[in-house]
Amino acid sequence: MEPTPRHIAAYFALMEAGALLQQLVEKQLRDEGNLSYIQFRVLAQLAEAPDQSVRMTDLADGVVYSRSGLTYQADRLEQNGLIVRTPSPDDERSVTVTITEAGREALAHVLPGHIDLVARELFGPLSEEDVTAMADVLTRVRDNLRNAPRRRAPRRRPAAGGDDGRPSR
């Protein structure tokens, strides 16, 4: 399939719109609540979780983020008293993250401004139909992207008969 100019326009518009919006959002959260966008997403995810708790891995998957990056941000959030980390009861390896009262307050504090900002900057120029179309198309795109990255080739057959070129560790 040959890409048309419209395809290219759609591609760049998506990337740029996402980047621009993230910059605005990041600034609002920083100014009003001293939170990064990732931290905001983490808190939001915890707040709507059944028992205010989620495992680290599920958090990372939820916010599209590297595991080490999440560890770093979780350190920040815990230092600031917005979350608590405890070993998971059922699986000794995993860590359960729970939002604290202070965390809920921090979230509640930035939320109104956040909603205002998004309503103004993102949805401002859009009609209801536009919003519907955008949600529809982008949801499909996102779900597709969430599955596609399965390029983590399982590396089957760990060189049963010879060196596969991978350096020893």
Partner DNA sequence: AGTATGCGCTTCGAATTCGAAGCACTTTCC
Partner DNA sequence: GGAAAGTGCTTCGAATTCGAAGCGCATACT
Cβ distance to its own copies smaller for residue 2 or 92: 2
Cβ distance to DNA smaller for residue 126 or 159: 159
Counting Cα atoms < 13 Å in the Cβ hemisphere of 119 gives 6
* Cα(125)–Cα(36) distance, integer angstroms: 26
Supply the minimum distance, in Å, between the C-beta of residue 34 and DNA.
Answer: 9
Cβ distance to DNA smaller for residue 72 or 123: 72
Q: Which of 1, 50, 161, 166 binds its own copies (CB under 8 A)?
A: 1
Three-state DSSP class for residue 32: helix
Site mask for DNA (CB under 7 A), range 111-140, x = bound: ------------------------------
* Cα(105)–Cα(29) distance, integer angstroms: 14
Cβ distance to its own copies smaller for residue 1 or 160: 1
Residues 28-87 that bind its own copies (CB under 8 A): 64
* Cα(95)–Cα(159) distance, integer angstroms: 34
DSSP H stretches of helix in the chain: 5-33, 37-47, 56-63, 67-79, 101-121, 128-147
- Residues in contact with its own copies by the rule CB under 8 A: 1, 3, 6-7, 9-11, 13-24, 64, 115, 118-126, 130-135, 137-142, 144-146, 148-149
